[in-house]
Structures are given as structure tokens and as C-alpha cells.
Amino acid sequence: MKVKEIHEYNNDDHGEVSGVEIEITTATGTQSISISEGEPEDMYFFRDLSGVLNITDLIKAAYEAGKNGEPWEYELESEEEEE
């Protein structure tokens, strides 16, 4: 199982993380969630935080992969937005 965590940065926010994507690849396929920062009025589960609603799918996939003996691999990637 490979877990890839991608941090997205917004150059206007003094180098702070503006979004996170988590991608899990197992023997049965790839699943991902994305959580981003936006305007305060968009910070709802059905808008910028919608990825949170699928987090249990990733937890279950990770559990099943571990139970099946798949090796664990983790990667952290940072992406900066171009100006």
C-alpha cells in the first residue's frame, strides 16, 4: 500500500498550506480525498471540505491492505502555486 500526501501552498498566504490531498494505492486500486482552503463562506462539508466525507473509505482500504499483508509506503509531496 502506498500513501501519498500532497500539500498545496498558496503563495499569498505566507507559505501556509492551502490544501491537502491524500491518495491511497492498494492492490485493489487507488482512492483519494482532497480538502482545500477557500473563502470562509465555502468552508462547508458540501464545498471545500467535501473530501472529509470519504475519509472512512480510505481508512477501510488501508485496514484491508494491512490485513492482507501489503507493505506500507509513505510519500509527502509539496506543490507550490505559480504566481
Q: Is residue 4 part of a domain?
A: no
- The burial class, CB within 10 Å (0-12 / 13-18 / 19+), for 62 is middle
Q: Is residue 54 part of a domain?
A: yes
Write the CB contacts of 52 (distance below 8 Å, at least 6 apart in sequence): 33, 35, 45
Which tens digits make up the pLDDT trace of 17-62?
A: 788 889 999 999 999 988 887 777 767 777 767 778 889 999 999 9
Domain range for 48 is: 11-70
pTM summary value:
0.75
Q: Is residue 78 part of a domain?
A: no
Q: Is residue 59 part of a domain?
A: yes
Instruction: Label residue 83 by pLDDT band (50, 70, 90).
Output: very low
Query: For residue 12, is pLDDT > 70?
Result: no
Mean local confidence (pLDDT), 65-79: 92
Tell me the one-letter amino acid at 3.
Answer: V
Q: How do 2-9 and 73-80 pair as beta strands?
A: parallel
Q: How many domains does the chain have?
A: 1
